[in-house]
């Protein structure tokens, strides 16, 4: 598959390596050149330098011909807005959004985005690890405490 | 009216001052603690809250659920977008206004139902653009969410209005001459109003027909 990954932080870099090793065609959008060192030397990843909220940069990344878009920067709002831009301007079949703030992640999940919240996922997995329960599908870890929900 | 402003930069503070002076209940949200402190000294503690306007927790405590208007005026389009979208979708705020810095982002805001966007880049660009294409036809503002333009021109010899009476002139569909200023005095417009060289004329025109009206009002060769 053709995929576009926005952000070459820890998550974006790891994801792009795994997907390219699995045989997918990966393009990474990143505005800070130093972050690209995370990719090492041997990964056949296409790189577009620039701001992923810029429609010209998205166009350059091949967003029109991609099967999936991953918004993986460290900025929640950047990821959400990038996903909205891609959803409303380009026809991309699948969009995944990383949102660190659990309540914001919850709000956008309700609006129909595939939203990943690392905190909720980790907390759920660690709970299962502690009790020796089987690990469950992703969605079952998206439960919020009332406190976090604002 | 309860208005919540998000972003305590220049735009936010100037807006807050004016709205408070108008007697509205205003809350300015600013996420930087030191900036929030300075703002509180300027416009009063009760009108400033420190917090991230994109966070549901902050939004709850700021009273988004009872806000009549939420205005997002930070320098970042993504922050303004999320603030306005959460205001609409989570808190049912009836009116949201967003500052948009990159004009190419405006369609995304509109598509998400954030209809009221203000782009200073777009405004300044259109001023410059109009000045370049003709310094005689000046867009003064927009009405009806951008569908109608308010334009101003000074009648020159080349204008098809010069020396004519209003009812003799064929204006593009839907456009109206609404104001005439001669030697600093406003003159009421009727079908019998005669235009003279040097008159300042203000007209309303559907945005799609602005170029046609320009041909009539400015006349001559139009380099657009």
Q: Which residues contact B221 (CB under 8 A, 6 or more apart)?
A: none
Residue of A nearest to B102 (CA): A54
* CA pseudo-torsion sign B87, B89, B90, B92: positive
Residue B56: list chain A partners with CB under 8 A.
Answer: 103-104, 107, 149-150
Fold of A2-117: Rossmann fold (3.40.50)
Task: Report which DSSP code applies to A67.
Answer: S
Tell me the ipTM for this assembly. 0.89
Q: Give pLDDT tens digits for A87-123.
A: 999 989 899 999 999 999 999 999 889 999 999 999 9
CA atoms within 13 A on the CB side of A87: 20
For residue B104, the model assigns a pLDDT of 92
Q: Give pLDDT tens digits for B165-216.
A: 988 888 888 888 888 989 888 888 888 889 998 888 989 998 888 888 888 8
How many inter-chain contacts (A to B, CB under 8 Å) are there? Answer: 61
Q: Is A89 on the interface with B (CB under 8 A)?
A: yes
Domains of chain A: which residue ranges? 2-117
What is the CATH code for B2-119?
3.40.50.720
In which residue ranges of chain B is CATH 3.40.50.720 found?
2-119
Distances (CA, A) of B62 to B39, B54, B56, B145: 16, 11, 10, 28
A107 with B90: Cβ contact below 8 A: yes
Distances (CA, A) of B103 to A27, A47, A123, B121, B166: 26, 26, 40, 7, 37
Fold of B130-218: Alpha-Beta Plaits (3.30.70)
A77 with B86: Cβ contact below 8 A: no
Q: Give pLDDT tens digits for B43-88.
A: 999 999 999 999 999 999 999 999 999 999 999 999 999 999 999 9
Residue B111: list chain A partners with CB under 8 A.
Answer: 84, 88
* CA pseudo-torsion sign B6, B7, B8, B11: negative
Q: What is the pTM of this model?
A: 0.75
In which residue ranges of chain B is CATH 3.30.70.1450 found?
130-218
For residue B222, the model assigns a pLDDT of 45
Q: Give pLDDT tens digits for A128-142.
A: 999 999 999 888 888
d(CA A70, CA A73): 9
Going by DSSP bridges, is the β-strand pair B137-143/B148-154 parallel, antiparallel, or unpaired?
antiparallel
């Amino acid at each position: 598959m053709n995929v576009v990954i926005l952000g070459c932080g820890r998550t974006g870099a790891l994801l792009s390596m795994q997907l390219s090793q699995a045989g997918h065609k990966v393009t990474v959008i990143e505005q800070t050149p130093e972050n690209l060192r995370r990719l090492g030397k041997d990964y056949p990843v296409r790189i577009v330098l620039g701001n992923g909220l810029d429609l010209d940069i998205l166009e350059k990344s091949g967003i029109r011909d991609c099967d999936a878009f991953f918004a993986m920067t460290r900025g929640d709002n950047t990821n959400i807005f990038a996903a909205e831009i891609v959803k409303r301007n380009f026809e991309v079949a699948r969009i995944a959004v990383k949102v660190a703030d659990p309540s914001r992640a919850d709000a956008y999940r309700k609006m129909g985005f595939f939203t990943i919240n690392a905190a909720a996922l980790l907390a759920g997995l660690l709970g299962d690890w502690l009790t020796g329960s089987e690990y469950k599908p992703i969605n079952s870890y998206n439960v919020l405490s009332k406190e976090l929900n604002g | 009216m309860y208005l919540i402003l998000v972003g305590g930069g220049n735009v936010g503070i100037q807006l807050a001052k004016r709205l408070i002076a108008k007697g509205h209940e205003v809350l300015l949200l600013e996420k930087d603690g030191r900036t929030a402190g300075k703002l509180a000294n300027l416009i009063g503690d009760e009108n400033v809250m420190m917090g991230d306007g994109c966070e549901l927790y902050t939004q709850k405590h700021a009273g988004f659920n009872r806000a009549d208007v939420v205005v997002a005026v930070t320098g970042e389009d993504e922050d303004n977008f999320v603030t306005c979208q959460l205001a609409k979708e989570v808190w049912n705020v009836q009116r949201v206004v967003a500052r948009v810095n990159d004009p190419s982002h405006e369609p995304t805001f509109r598509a998400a139902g954030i209809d009221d966007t203000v782009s200073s880049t777009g405004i300044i660009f259109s001023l410059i653009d109009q000045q370049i294409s003709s310094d005689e036809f000046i867009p003064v503002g927009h009405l009806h969410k951008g569908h109608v333009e308010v334009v101003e021109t000074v009648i020159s010899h080349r204008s098809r209005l010069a020396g004519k009476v209003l009812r003799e002139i064929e204006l593009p569909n839907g456009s109206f001459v609404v104001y005439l200023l001669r030697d600093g005095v406003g003159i009421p417009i009727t079908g019998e109003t005669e235009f003279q060289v040097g008159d300042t004329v203000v007209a309303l025109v559907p945005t799609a027909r602005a170029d046609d009206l320009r041909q009539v009002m400015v006349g001559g060769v139009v380099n657009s």
